[in-house]
Amino acid sequence: MSTKNQDNLHPATIAAQAGGLLDTGTGGVVPPIHPATTFVRDETYTPSVDGNVYSRSHAPNGRMVEKVLAQLEGGAESMVFPSGMAAVAAVFRTVPSGATVLVQSQIYWGTTAWIREFCTRRAITLIEVEAADTDAFAEACAEHKPHLAWVETPSNPWLRIVDLTACADAVHAAGGLLIADTTAATPILTQALSFGVDIVMHSATKALNGHSDVLAGALSCSDADSGIWQAIRDDRNMAGAVLGPFEAWLLLRGMRTLPLRVERMSSNAMKLAEYLSDHPKVESVLYPGLPSHVGHALACTQMKGGFGPLLSFVVKGEAEAALGAVARLQLFHRATSLGGVESLVEHRHTIEPHTGIPEGLLRVSVGIENVEDLKDDLGQALGQ
């Protein structure tokens, strides 16, 4: 019987097997936690094991996660960080003062707010554009020649879909690089590097871990020898934005069920989006799986096997009606985050009152519960 090429394994196999990682010291099928911060050298002062020197630069558990994530992304290398925002910051710290960056408008507010402040401090010109409008994005690239462009797809909380190939072509023609935040899609649904993206970013706190108990971020690249990747690696090593061993171990443990969780969450989200679309108390539903969504056709080409756990919908009656529905929900936890096994709901206008979010908009992160229970909960909260 032939042995399957390890380079051609499906994501579900890579994840479940943790990329083939085992505890070689004991034969355990679960990789161990390595809490050591420093590692011994032999008599010639050569590192004794696998190049391990010091955990800020050579953390075994972090490298385990990076190995599996790079395989899932179809990338050359990955790096993990202590939060998603630490990963965002690592990218932008490579931008020289006086340069120009292009950033998608109306994405995750934490990213936007930090980038605005950072660019002001560093005298970096920031151009914000609706990247889901491919023509507008291409025109901005041609006019401003950005050092790099940052996009998010599906976007949070608007669920807009960005044409990654078209955006990569536009920014590359202008001499820049394309960075994509695909946290809401995960590499299970979208391998962004295959569409020409140079670096893909994830808040690993979300679906990659999936259990709401780890704060982490990740970057993956298509070219590990590129100048920006080496600059990010050097900065992480020197500045110390590294993920702790226990968090890395938990993240790897969570990633082993990532394909199963994404499949169930996407299926549940699709069914809820369809249910809400026909609900008399709902004004509109934002979910790329719906044929009525403006980015549906594009999402079908970029997202394979589902459309993710994140959806937003606008309740008729604005803030009063939306907050009333949220108060009546019994299964959806009122909490900030997405991608966990438990379903969450958030009234975005309360969180971001000055960003143009409709007062009636509710953002839902759909978990892995029985979808009929979730549907019933939404029904009783909205009122039939």
CATH number for the domain that contains residue 177: 3.40.640.10
If asked whether residues 230 and 264 sit together in one domain, one would say: no
If asked whether residues 273 and 222 sit together in one domain, one would say: no
Is 200 contained in some domain? yes
Q: What Rg value do the Cα atoms of the chain yield, rounded?
A: 21
pLDDT for res 2: 41
- pLDDT by residue for the chain (384 residues), tens digit each? 344 555 689 999 999 998 888 888 888 899 999 999 999 999 999 988 877 899 988 899 999 999 999 999 999 999 999 999 999 999 999 999 999 999 999 999 999 999 999 999 999 999 999 999 999 999 999 999 999 999 999 999 999 999 999 999 999 999 999 999 999 999 999 999 999 999 999 999 999 999 999 999 999 999 999 999 999 999 999 999 999 999 999 999 999 999 999 999 999 999 999 999 999 999 999 999 999 999 999 999 999 999 999 999 999 999 999 999 999 999 999 999 999 999 999 998 888 888 889 999 999 999 999 999 999 999 999 996
pLDDT for res 5: 56
If asked whether residues 59 and 172 sit together in one domain, one would say: yes
If asked whether residues 250 and 298 sit together in one domain, one would say: no
Select from 209, 233, 255 the last residue of a domain. 255
Neighbours of 128 (CB within 10 A): 17
pLDDT for res 50: 78
Is 1 contained in some domain? no
259 class by beta-carbon count within 10 Å (0-12 exposed, 13-18 middle, 19+ buried) = buried
For residues 270-293, one letter each, b for 16 or more C-beta atoms within 10 angstroms of the residue's C-beta and e for the rest, the string is: bbbbebbeebebbeebbbbbbeeb
Tokens representing 224 are 């590990």
- Domain assignment of residue 41, given as a range: 10-255
Q: Return the CATH number at 307.
A: 3.90.1150.10
154 near 176, Cβ under 8 Å? no
pLDDT for res 7: 65
Distance CA 192, CA 195 (A): 5
Is 370 contained in some domain? yes
If asked whether residues 76 and 91 sit together in one domain, one would say: yes
In eight-state DSSP terms, residue 147 is: S
Is 5 contained in some domain? no
Query: What is the domain count for the chain?
Result: 2
Distance CA 377, CA 360 (A): 18
Peptide bond into 245 cis (omega under 30): no
pLDDT for res 32: 92
Residues assigned a catalytic role:
56, 108, 181, 206
Q: Which candidate, 221, 216, 243, places its Cα nearest to that of 232?
A: 221
If asked whether residues 209 and 288 sit together in one domain, one would say: no
Tokens representing 4 are 């399957």
Task: Output phi, psi for 98, to 5 deg.
Answer: 90, -5
If asked whether residues 234 and 311 sit together in one domain, one would say: no
Is 4 contained in some domain? no
The single-letter code of the amino acid at 159 is: L
If asked whether residues 264 and 235 sit together in one domain, one would say: no
Distance CA 107, CA 89 (A): 16
If asked whether residues 73 and 207 sit together in one domain, one would say: yes
Select from 255, 281, 315 the last residue of a domain. 255
If asked whether residues 292 and 189 sit together in one domain, one would say: no
Is 3 contained in some domain? no
If asked whether residues 312 and 358 sit together in one domain, one would say: yes
Is 2 contained in some domain? no
Residue spans of alpha helices (H) in the chain: 11-16, 60-73, 84-92, 109-121, 134-144, 164-173, 186-189, 227-239, 245-255, 258-277, 296-302, 318-328, 348-351, 371-382
Q: Which residues contact 235 (CB under 8 A, 6 or more apart)?
A: 90, 93, 94, 241
Is 74 contained in some domain? yes
Select from 223, 255, 287 the last residue of a domain. 255
334 near 345, Cβ under 8 Å? yes
If asked whether residues 219 and 290 sit together in one domain, one would say: no
